[in-house]
Structure formats: C-alpha cells, structure tokens
Amino acid sequence: MSHPDFPFSAIVGHDQLRLALILCAVRPEIGGVLIRGEKGTAKSTAVRALAGILSSIDGACLVELPIGATEDRVIGSLDLQKVLRDGEHAFSPGLLSRAHRGVLYVDEVNLLHDHLVDVLLDAAAMGRVHVERDGVSHSYESRFVLIGTMNPEEGELRPQLLDRFGLTVDVRASREVAVRTEVIRARLAYEADPQGFAARFADADADVARRIAAARTRVAGVVLGDDELGRIAALCAAFDVDGMRADLVVARTAVAHAAWRGAEHVAAEDIRVAAELALPHRRRRDPFDDPGLDPGALDEILGDQDTGPEPEPDPDPDSDPPGGGTPPPAESETSGQSEGSPSPSPAPAQQSAAPTPTFQTRALRVPGVGEGAPGRRSVARNRSGAVVGVSPGDTGDGLHLFATMLATAGRSRQAGRLRPDVDDIRLAVRQGREGNLVIFVVDASGSMAARDRMSAVSGAALSLLRDAYQRRDKVAVITFRADQAQLLLPPTTSAHIAGRRLARFDTGGRTPLAQGLLAAADLVRREKVRDRTRRPLVVVLTDGRATGGPDPLGRSRIAAARLVAEGASAVVVDCETSYIRLGLAGVLADALGAPVLRLEQLRAEALTAVVRSAA
C-alpha cells in the first residue's frame, strides 16, 4: 500500500508559496508558479500536496516531466507504428495531453532545454497545444497548473523564460528555532505514521479543496474596476517592467485572490498580493541583478503607507568569505615587503576594488567538435543542431524518417507494402553549438592588487561571465594569492552568484601561479567524472609573474603541462600594464598551448583576429 503524500495543510510556514499554488489552481491562466529555493525547503512536497488537493476536486493527476524528455514526448508525434503497419497518418499525444485538468510538474526546470520550456509555457498560457509536423496537423486541450522548481545555485532561467512564468516564489529555510523545530516534528510524525498523520489533516485539506472549488466558480464574476485597472497599470509602469505580460498576470492574480477570499470586487489588498508574486522576477534586467520589489514604492503607488514594520532582511549568504570568518576591512593593506624577502606571517588581505563597467566580448571557443549539452559557444554534435548527415548506426540524435523509409524501400518490397527492418533505421546527425565549462583562474596577488588594475581585471572577468551566461556555459571561479589557490565558486550556471563572487574577493600577497593552474587541473578532472561531454575552457587572468618557493616558474610550467594533459583548452589574458613589458603571460600561454590576449583586446571590437586563431 502506497503512502499518502504529505498533507498540504501540514506544511509549516511558506505561506506565500502555498498561496501562489492555490491562486494558480483557482485560475490556471495565470501561467503557473516557479518555486526557487535551496535544497530541502519543501518545494516538491508542496507541489505533490497540491496535486492531492486538486485530485479530490476534479480527479486531477500529477504529471512529472523528466529533464531528459524529448519534444515528441512532451507534445506528441506521428504514430510511426500505425504509419508503417496500416499506412495511416495517426497522432500519438504526449505528456501535455495527460496533464489536461491536472498539475504538470517540472523539477529542476532551470536544467530543462529552453525550447521545451517555451512549449510548456505556451501551452499553459493558451490551454491548448497545436502540433504541425510530419504532415500531421493536430490540436488538443491542455489546461493544467504548471509548476517548476529550481535551486538557483544550479543555474538560472533566462530572463525571457523567467518572465513567462506567471508567479515566482523564493523559499528558504526559516532561521527561527521554533519554526525549524516544528518542521522537524511534523516530518518525523509523518514518517512514523503516514496514514495517521494524513488523517489528522484530512479535514483541513478538504476545506482547502472546497474553497478552491468555490473560488473557481466565483472567479468569472469578480469585478475588476477601472480604478483598480489603473492602479495595476501604474504599478507595472512605475516598476519599469517590459511588455504587457506583467499587467495581465497581476490582473488575473488579483481577480483570483479576490475570488479566493470570497469577495465580489478586486481591492487594493488583492493587487498588493498579486504584485508581490508577479513582479519581483520581472524587474531583473541583468543576470547580475537581485530579484526584489521595493515595499516602500509599492506602498506609495497603492496609497497604503500603514503596513507595519518591515521584516528583517535575510542575511547575505556572501557576506563572509567562502572559507568562513569575517571579511577583512577594506582599509587593510598588503605587506610592504619585497617579493624576495622572507615573510614571517601571511600577508594581510584587502578586498578587491570595485570592478569597471562590463562590456561585450567576443566569443572564445573550444577547438574541435564536441558532444556537450546544447548551448551557444563551441561547435558540437547534439540534438539541438541542424541535420548535416545520416547515420546507419547508433551515433545520431533522433530518427531520420525519410532516410529510414528510403533504406526500407531500397532493400525490399513484400506484398506491395514496405516491411521495415531494424537494419533500415537511420539516425539524424546534427551539428549545432554546445555550452562549455568555463573556469576563470584569477590572479589576486600583490602584483595585481593595484586598485586600477584589479578593477579592470574584475570588470573583464564579469564581462566574460556575462558572455558565458548568454552562451549557456557552466562557470567556476578560482583565485590564487599568498601561498594558495581557492575555489571561490564551484561549477554553476548561476551568473548571479558567480557575479557576486567575482565582484568581491581577497587580494594581496605573493603569486602562487602553479597552485592556481593545479587547482584548475583538479577541477577539470573532477568535472569530467560528472559530465565527460562538457568540454572545459580555462581562462587565466594574470600578468604571468610567479613568486614564492623554489623555482616558481618551473613549477608553473609543470602545472601547465598537467592542465594540458587533462584535455583543457585555455586562453591567457595578459593583465600586465607596465610600460616595460616582461611578457611572462606569453610564456605561460606557450606552456598551455593557448592564445594570449592583452586585457584591452577582450573587447568585442578588438578581438576578431585573435578569436579566429583560437577557434
């Protein structure tokens, strides 16, 4: 006997999350809910609990969409078996058909391919799926509550895809001891006796189901007056959101909230709730921006100043250095000792200077043809590319129907009907672009710590990071200074988190170049175990100096050879700004078999010739 899901009413805290789910259940046209939060914050628990509520109303089911699903699996495709057996065109519906009148759940939606996210969101907005392919035209109803969950540390959705979700909720574990205690108590009670625990909350969940059903009946009659429409338009204009989708989502959500609370007219409180759920994620114009909504501005626009004290903001997870402890004061200085003199104690660190403004960079590419996940950087054979050939084996991506039928026809005809065989199957060979693992190795030593130079280096690194975000790369950041290298950011697709780490880090001390290269080699080796198809590109930002320990330059050459042995491609960005140039970055580039760019050459308008030589 299967265990019942955790009851919706038993979820501790997360009031805004539960409300967002309820409002989308009342009015699916809102466009679904995106739930963002760290691991272990009851995201999936809440989704499954909602599905249980809806199943009691109209028999709704929960359909989960696997991350690796194909487009045919999602929207449906030609029924090839009937075509070959009966000579008839027939359509086989996909997951979106099964999700009709239910909940479509996509866990880790930020890892889902962009074209599939577009398909899902279009279906959620229109309530219908139209398929035009393989000579078949088909349409079917698909009205569902779309819910996606994601951990921002594992990567972001593109802003244009983020905007397509009606509502977004950020969830995090409470820092209050009493709340955390209650969460533990509830979970342990559920695990000890799932049936009994569910029975304790059966009446409360039934009441939620009744209220949702009543709100669905009432929602069509809720009046959204001209004054309230004006407030919504003024609100979206004041917060400078793009397009008209935000206005429509706020309006639909406000109506749903009014219906949920049993009102016949939309009021300011409904608009406030709708704005808090629908606008914060639409204000992000840049992957480095923090999502959020200014409560004071919201109060002013809605004409409601008496909202009580503001809650204390959650602590900044990046307020301390990744290694722990408190950040050093900005005024601290690096040691005044020369590089050749002994150092009785570690050189004090200072914070890197504010980065210069970012700029557009040319693409740096990994040579050769890869097989990695779809992206926009290096050439690869993957399922998102254009068809460039046909394979009779198992090395292609998807069935090439025409070539398969042609092989069948050329082999045999029996009884006037094609009889396909396994050997007739032909796969499409596609070539497109892939995303790579871009590892930034940043020299943060004393020779780089002059404020104007470090500002330029940070600005260049952030510019490269923005480019990596746009090209669907995973990124990692390593800094080296004093006597060690530090993995400032493990591989992630979150440009927001990477940007925060690159904009502020410790500088000063000697230049352990070898340690930085060895740290990059170790990271490449570990990541190959996780995903052998994602090819690495190591971008080293340094002036090429190596100090500290015996034969630092020799150790750097050995470390460079190890990085090359791991199969990593590299680019060296020469950050030397002295009038008399030593050219040490060029020596490093030779050891890595990599092109070398001067810092000013990173700008798009100055990089064309160099990139061609690196491609």
Active site residues: 245
Rounded to an integer, what distance in angstroms lies between the CA atom of residue 398 and that of residue 384?
10
- Report the C-alpha gap between 315 and 342 in whole angstroms: 40
Query: How far is residue 403's CA from residue 178's CA, in Å, rounded to a whole number?
Result: 65
Backbone angles phi, psi at 393, to 5 degrees: -100, -145
* Bridge pairing between strands 569-574 and 596-598: parallel
- Are 540 and 460 spatial neighbours (Cβ–Cβ below 8 Å)? no
Q: Are 75 and 131 in contact (CB under 8 A)?
A: yes
Task: List, in sequence order, every residue forming a beta bridge with 572; answer none if it has no partner.
Answer: 540, 596
Are 57 and 311 contacting, i.e. CB atoms less than 8 angstroms apart?
Answer: no
| Bridge partners for 389 per DSSP | 429
- The first and second tokens of residue 189, run together, are 């009670």
Distance from C-alpha of 581 to C-alpha of 154, rounded to nearest angstrom: 41
Residues composing the chain: 615
Q: Which DSSP letter does residue 169 get? A: E
Beta strand pairing call for 33-37 and 144-150: parallel
Longest dimension (CA), the chain: 92
Nearest partner of 328 among 588, 508, 590, 543, judged by Cα:
508
> Tokens standing for 350?
């200072």
Q: Between vectors from CA 438 to CA 435 and to CA 440, what angle results, nearest 5°?
A: 165
